[in-house]
Amino acid sequence: MDGGLMHRGVSFEFYVVYLFILSIYVSQGMIILFLMQVSSYYGRNL
């Protein structure tokens, strides 16, 4: 039982770290897309 709980805890920590890294990649991607849209918007108006 203890081994199963320990394994579940490790996988849970890995899942949290994976979600944290994934959120960072998603936020960076959103920022890049936002900057690309803004630059293309200003490029068309100039």
Distance between CA 3 and CA 9 in Å, rounded?
10
What pLDDT was estimated at residue 37?
92
> What was the pLDDT predicted at 22?
94
pLDDT of residue 32: 92
pLDDT digits (tens, 9 = 90+) for 1-31: 455 555 666 688 888 999 999 999 999 999 9
The string of DSSP codes covering the chain is -HHHHHHHHHHHHHHHHHHHHHHHHHHHHHHHHHHHHHHHHHHHH-
- Residue 7, pLDDT score: 60
**Would you state the pLDDT for residue 5?**
56
